[in-house]
C-alpha cells in the first residue's frame, strides 16, 4: 500500500542542544492506523510536531532526515501549508477554544478545508459522528466534559477533510467507557472516510486494539515495530506496556 507519510532517519533538537529524536524512521500507509508507543519523554509528541510543522514554535528544529507526505518533502513547509496538504494534528490536552461555542470551534477549522464543501455539509458530518456535539452546538466549549472536548477536537479535524490525523493521547484523563466510545468513532472515521491515523497513546491496550501497525520509541529512535497482533504477543511489550506478568518476568 502507498505511503501517506514517510519519515526517514529523523533527528530533532530543541534549543540547539536538547536532542529529542536521534534517528527515527516510520511509515504510515494509506488508510491505516499506526500507533506510536513509548515511555514518557521517548519522543512521541516531538514526532507529531515535526510532521505538523509546530517545532519552530517551541524552538525546535529538524537537524537531519526527511519527512515526506505523499512523496513530497514537507520539512520546510509552515503548519498552515501542511494542514492544506491534508495532515491535521489533534494535540494532546484537546486545545479547544473554551470561550467559543462548539459551532464556532468548528468554524475556526474551515480555513483548513481542502475540499470545497459547504459549512453545513462539513458540520453535519461532524454531528453525524458525534451527535452529542449537535445537541451542544451553542454551548461554550469550556463547559463540555473532557470526553466531549476530545470529540470536538477530533470534529475540528474532520471539518478540514484530512487525509491523515495525528492524534496525541486521545484517551488522556478520560473514563474507560468514554475512551472506548471515542475509539469506536475513530475506527469508523478511518474505515468510512479512509482517513489514516498516526496515534500516540500511553494506553497500549487501546492502541494495540485499534491500530494495525505499531512502533515502539525509546530515546528518540524506533526500537521495535510490527503488526499490532505481533506486538501484543511480544514479551517486552506485555511486561512494560500491558502490565502482563510473563514467564520471564514472574
Ligand atoms: N519544547 C521543548 N523544549 C525542550 N525540550 C523538549 C520540549 N518538548 C519536549 N522536549 C524534550 O524532548 C524529549 C521528547 O519529548 P516528547 O514530549 O516528544 O516525548 P513523549 O514521548 O511525547 O513523552 P510524553 O508521553 O511525556 O508526552 C524529552 O526529553 C523532552 O524533555
How far away, in angstroms, is 43 Cα from ligand 1 center? Answer: 6
- CA gap 173, 203 in Å, rounded: 11
- CA gap 5, 22 in Å, rounded: 19
* Complete domains list, the chain, with CATH: 1-86+163-250 (3.40.50.300), 92-162 (no CATH)
With a 6 Å cutoff on the Cβ, whether 54 touches ligand 1 is no
- CA gap 245, 71 in Å, rounded: 43
Quick check: helix, strand or coil at residue 71? Answer: coil
With a 6 Å cutoff on the Cβ, whether 17 touches ligand 1 is no
CB-CB contact of 78 with 112 (8 Å): no
- CA gap 159, 119 in Å, rounded: 8
Ligand 1: which residue has its CA nearest to atom 3?
14
pLDDT band, residue 122 (cuts 50/70/90): very high
With a 6 Å cutoff on the Cβ, whether 42 touches ligand 1 is yes
Quick check: helix, strand or coil at residue 136? Answer: coil
Ligand 1: which residue has its CA nearest to atom 29?
41
Indicate the pTM of the whole model: 0.93
Nearest to 54 by CA among 63, 46, 42, 66: 46
DSSP states of 127-164 = HHH-HHHHHTTTSBGGGS-HHHHHHHHHHHHHHT--SE
pLDDT per position as a tens digit, 27-84: 999 999 999 999 889 999 999 999 999 999 999 999 999 999 999 999 989 999 999 9
pLDDT per position as a tens digit, 159-198: 999 999 999 999 998 999 999 999 999 999 999 999 999 9
- According to the model, what pLDDT value does residue 117 have? 79
Q: Give the rounded distance of the alpha carbon of 59 from its chain centre.
A: 21
Look up residue 96 and give its DSSP letter.
-
CB-CB contact of 111 with 156 (8 Å): no
Nearest to 36 by CA among 61, 46, 174: 46
The beta strands (E) that lie in 80-119 are given as 87-90
33-37 and 196-200 as β-strands: parallel, antiparallel, unpaired? parallel
pLDDT per position as a tens digit, 209-248: 999 999 999 999 999 999 999 999 988 888 877 777 766 5
pLDDT per position as a tens digit, 80-113: 999 999 999 999 877 889 999 999 999 998 888 8
Q: Which residue has the cell 473554551?
A: 98
Ligand 1, atom nearest to 42 Cα? 21
Which phi and psi angles does 221 have, rounded to 5°? Answer: -145, 155
Nearest to 179 by CA among 200, 151, 153: 151
Q: Is the pLDDT of residue 249 over 70?
A: no
With a 6 Å cutoff on the Cβ, whether 129 touches ligand 1 is no
How far away, in angstroms, is 213 Cα from ligand 1 center? Answer: 23
Nearest to 44 by CA among 74, 10, 78: 10
Strand partners, 218: 221
Helix 119-129 / helix 146-159 crossing angle, nearest 10 deg: 140
Q: Is the pLDDT of residue 116 over 80?
A: no
Amino acid at each position: 500500500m502507498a505511503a501517506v507519510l514517510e519519515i526517514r532517519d529523523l533527528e530533532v533538537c530543541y534549543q540547539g542542544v536538547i536532542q529529542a529524536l536521534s534517528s527515527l524512521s516510520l511509515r504510515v500507509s494509506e488508510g491505516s492506523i499506526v500507533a506510536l508507543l513509548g515511555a514518557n519523554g521517548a519522543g512521541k509528541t516531538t514526532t507529531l510536531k515535526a510532521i505538523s510543522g509546530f517545532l519552530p514554535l517551541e524552538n525546535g528544529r529538524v537537524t537531519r532526515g526527511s519527512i515526506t507526505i505523499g512523496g513530497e518533502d514537507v520539512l520546510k513547509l509552515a503548519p498552515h501549508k501542511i494542514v492544506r496538504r491534508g495532515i491535521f494534528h489533534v494535540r494532546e490536552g484537546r486545545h479547544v477554544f473554551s470561550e467559543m461555542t462548539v459551532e464556532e470551534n468548528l468554524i475556526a477549522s474551515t480555513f483548513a478545508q481542502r475540499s470545497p464543501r459547504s459549512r453545513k455539509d462539513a458540520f453535519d458530518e461532524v454531528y453525524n459522528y458525534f451527535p452529542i456535539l449537535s445537541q451542544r452546538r451553542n454551548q461554550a466549549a469550556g463547559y463540555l466534559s473532557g470526553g466531549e472536548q476530545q470529540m470536538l477536537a477530533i470534529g475540528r479535524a474532520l471539518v478540514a477533510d484530512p487525509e491523515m490525523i495525528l492524534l496525541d493521547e486521545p484517551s488522556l484523563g478520560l473514563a474507560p467507557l468514554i475512551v472506548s466510545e471515542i475509539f469506536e468513532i475513530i475506527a469508523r472515521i478511518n474505515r468510512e472516510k479512509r482517513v489514516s491515523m498516526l496515534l500516540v497513546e500511553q494506553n497500549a491496550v487501546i492502541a494495540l486494539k485499534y491500530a494495525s501497525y505499531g512502533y515502539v520509541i525509546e530515546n528518540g529512535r524506533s526500537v521495535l515495530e510490527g503488526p499490532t497482533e505481533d506486538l501484543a504477543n511480544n514479551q517486552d511489550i506485555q511486561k512494560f506496556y500491558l502490565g502482563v506478568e510473563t514467564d520471564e518476568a514472574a
